[in-house]
Chain A
Amino acid sequence: MSTLNPAMDHSGVHDHGHHELSFVQKYIFSTDHKIIGIQFLITTMLMLLVGGALALGVRWQLAFPWQNMPFFGRFFMAQGGAISPDAYTMLFTMHATVMIFLVIIPVLAGAFGNFLIPLMIGADDMAFPVLNMLSYWFMWPAIFFFGLSFFFGGGPAAGWTSYPLLSALAEAAPGSGTAQTMWLLAVTFIGVSSMMGSVNYLTTIINMRAPGMTLFRMPMTIWGMFITAILQAFALPVLTAAGFMLVADRVFDTCFFIPEGIVVNNADPTRGGGQPLLWQHLFWFYSHPAVYIMLLPAMGMVSDMLSTMCRKPLFGYKPMVYSMAAIAGLGFIVWGHHMFISGMNPALGMTFMISTMMIALPSAIKTFNWIGTIWGGKVEFNTVMLNSVAFVSMFIVGGLSGIFMAAVPVDIYIHDTYFIVAHFHYVLFGATLFGVFGAIQFWFPKMFGRMMNETVGKIHFFLTFVGFNGTFFPMHMLGVAGMPRRYADPYLHPYLEHLLPMNQFMTVCAIIMGFAQILLLGNFILSIFYGPKVGRNPWNGNGLEWFAPSPPPHGNYDVPPVVYRGPYEYSSPLVDDRDYLMQTDYLPPKEPDKESDDSENDSESKET
């Protein structure tokens, strides 16, 4: 019962002992999944700004190498206002770290997973509310240690992939000392946070569905969250173990990753018989499934949003579920495509190429089904629809550019060039973040009982979309031109000199895109207080979340929901006064001779 909530009827069936909670219990150390979800959402939106600022630092250096940065230059005082090469390595390392570990994973699983799972399956809260609260609060030590790491040697600078030996030996780089240990510690904390979340989601989805909510009546969002939770539960321990091994190598002089006789920066030769490639195997065994952890929930949410916005059942519900499961299953056996030229046994490259090509198949099936969902629907371009269509359109690019890199011989050339940077930004930003922008707009009324502003939302979408494509599409060309990633000054190499104007254009686009996010944040914050109030079901949706009051009280539903059908019965001929049929709507069985009437009703149905 937030203060934003209009007077609630407490006479409902939920008998939770509704004593008044203190402010701290209600909004800070809350065990209510909705508050935790909103906490995750606001935290990740702030982190989005941090990660974006770091990215703009990278873009500044690429467009105006070694020139003083206006205003922000004061952070690089030691270099007289310009970004030094080691500061540059820190910038892209922390940009990726913040965006992956503190924005995309928590905003999908943490924010929307928390907020939507109980609401969409008809549960009054998560299975383990205290564990849920801890999963949020374990994010803060991670943020703290990531933040602290900036004060040691300029910050971690081994890339977000942290390949040893650069990350294993303190002498290897200025940021490979304490900062790297802090980084590993923070990643472990965020891993614990995710793990607590995924255990909770799995239990909740398996055990706490409302009566009638069978697995195949669950919305795609829930399928996305469910499969993501499975991925996380099985892949994350590997990363955590690898992290501990690396910490042990750094702190306790073990040698999991350190081979014999390596002399770094004139230090003593290393002892041991470790293998640096082992880290890559362990790291990518988690981090490739992590790519799907960062994508599947967004795929689910977009499926729901497209269906609702087009007033049309999801095209091919079961193929969508199966292809999602196939992506998750295949996701475990494709990690080697990050290592085609790493020096692992080349024969493995062939195996990983075939499995990687095959994972494009379920992605293709999903894309065709999204297009099928829009086909024959009624399209009204609001912000939600725009972002969802952008998701599909951008995901096509990201998916297709992946085929180049899945092909091992072609990967020889484009591996570690800007082509890969273009590819994963099209997937993680172009797809996932546009999906998230849509989802914020879509479920905002349920979170706060108010709508977000449409005009601002559309302007934000337009600027972000244009800025995004202006920034990332040219990266494909940079990659084909052979510009390697993570270069502080690519123009040192004669064959890249002519690419400077293109990089400057991209930086201008990136700045536009970066500042457009202020619109999102402003729209979000102002709409919490000033947005027009709405009822339970502003989008005429079918899902159980629209059955609850907006915002839902503690315990979510004033009437316990019972589910009679799947979530996608839009424009159903069974009802003629409206074009949606909620999962909870009970229709008395009709007599067989009425069926001819239904088809007539279909043609003369009215708008709601």
Chain B
Amino acid sequence: MNRFWCCFFIFWPILAVLVSWYSPDMDWWFPGEPGTPIGSQIDDLFYLILVIVTVVFIGTQIALCYVLWTGVKKQKGKALFTHGSHNLEVIWTIVPSGILMFISLYQLDVWKNFRVQSTFPEAAIEAPVAEVTARQFEWRIRYPAPGKVLKLTPQPDDLYTVNDLHVPTNRPIVIQLRSGDVQHSFFVPDLRIKQDAVPGQVIPILFEVLKGGDYDLTCAELCGWGHYKMRARVLAQPESEFNDYLLGLQQEQNYDGVADEPAPSLAQQTKEVRQ
């Protein structure tokens, strides 16, 4: 029975490693290739830590089972009488602290580039693409009028949408994040972006989408009963298409309903609802 328990304690780490190894094949892994440079860096750091941690995990679990196995076999005589070893203590203090220090210092640059505002490219920070206001339970988006710069306070010619954030690809952009009521968190798993939206604060998020496409935007901070359903999209498209989109949005929004040209469908609907 004692040996059974030894096998039991070695069996589960093996199973854990196997399950982890096959997880990417089973699609129990990252939702896809990261769509941003920062995302690739995050993934690389994740894998770096994963390798270090796996080595330590396997090492310690094997050590644990080894000492259990030898302990089970030793049933005669007294146990080893030792109170410890100073040399061992020194070794297993210094080696892990070196590894941990390496991990933490190695991360600093990525964090700095992602979050520290003074490192943000000037062009991006001066002309944020949009302002995203999280509310219970939707994302309100405000763009500046084409050719204008986003102001902190809403302008009469600003453009508005809900739950559809259009962004240009292949250049660093900044989104201004705010909250209209309680706390939320702007989470785009495919792009590896997450930032809390704090009431009373405007927080810039810097990122660069590499590939055009349609990315899920979710909320990652409990914001009430409908937390799970704050589903939205980030639509990344090339610069020219993005500009066209803004122009179209402006046309819809400025349409007064009496001009000759056929009314854009969305504006039409809004108007009908209002009447």
Contact = CB atoms under 8 A, between A and B. Distances in A.
Interface footprint category on A? 35 or more
Interface string B1-32: 11001000100110010011001000111110
A603 B28 CA distance: 54
B64 A393 contact: yes
B183 to A, nearest CB: 6
A431 interface: no
Nearest to A375: B67
B187 A484 contact: yes
Contacts of A360: 96, 100
A396 B61 CA distance: 8
A6 interface: no
Contacts of B183: 163-166, 276
Contacts of B273: none
Contact of B224 (A166, A314, A410): A166
B194 A413 contact: yes
Given A277-B198, A369-B84, A407 B64 contact: no
Nearest to B229: A492
B275 interface: no
Contacts of B93: 319, 361, 365
A357 B102 CA distance: 10
Contact of A361 (B72, B100, B222): B100
Interface in A328-372: 341-343, 346-347, 349-350, 353-354, 357-358, 360-361, 364-365, 367-369, 371-372
Contacts of B68: 374, 379, 389
Of A174, A487, A494, A573, which is in contact with the most chain B CB atoms at under 10 Å from its CB?
A487
A145 interface: no
Contacts of A317: 83-84
Identify the interface centre among B38, B45, B74, B107: most chain A CB within 10 Å of its CB: B107
B238 interface: no
A403 interface: yes
A485 B218 CA distance: 11
Contacts, number: 333
A369 to B, nearest CB: 7
Given A262-B180, A311-B79, A482-B30, A409 B84 contact: no
Contact of A481 (B28, B41, B220): B28
Interface in B101-144: 101, 103-105, 107-108, 110-112, 114-117, 136
Interface residues of B, number: 101
B237 interface: no
A559 interface: no
A136 B92 CA distance: 41
A316 B93 CA distance: 12
A546 interface: no
A230 interface: no
A568 B83 contact: yes
Contact of B46 (A310, A404, A484): A404
Interface stretch (A39-47, A232-240, A469-477): A469-477
Contacts of B67: 371, 374-377
B181 A409 contact: no
A584 B161 CA distance: 77
Interface of A: 84-86, 88-89, 157-159, 163-166, 169, 172-174, 259-260, 262-265, 274-277, 310-317, 319, 341-343, 346-347, 349-350, 353-354, 357-358, 360-361, 364-365, 367-369, 371-372, 374-381, 386, 389-390, 392-393, 396-397, 400-401, 403-404, 406-410, 412-413, 415-417, 465, 469, 473-474, 476-478, 480-482, 484-490, 492-495, 498-499, 502, 568, 570-573, 579, 602-603, 605
13 contacts: A157-B225, A165-B181, A259-B199, A342-B198, A350-B111, A361-B100, A376-B70, A379-B72, A381-B5, A477-B20, A492-B228, A579-B79, A602-B81
Interface of B: 1-2, 5, 9, 12-13, 16, 19-20, 23, 27-31, 38-39, 41-42, 45-46, 49-50, 52-53, 56-57, 60-61, 63-64, 67-68, 70-72, 74-75, 77-85, 88-89, 92-93, 96-97, 100-101, 103-105, 107-108, 110-112, 114-117, 136, 180-183, 185, 187, 189-190, 192-201, 203, 216, 218-229, 231
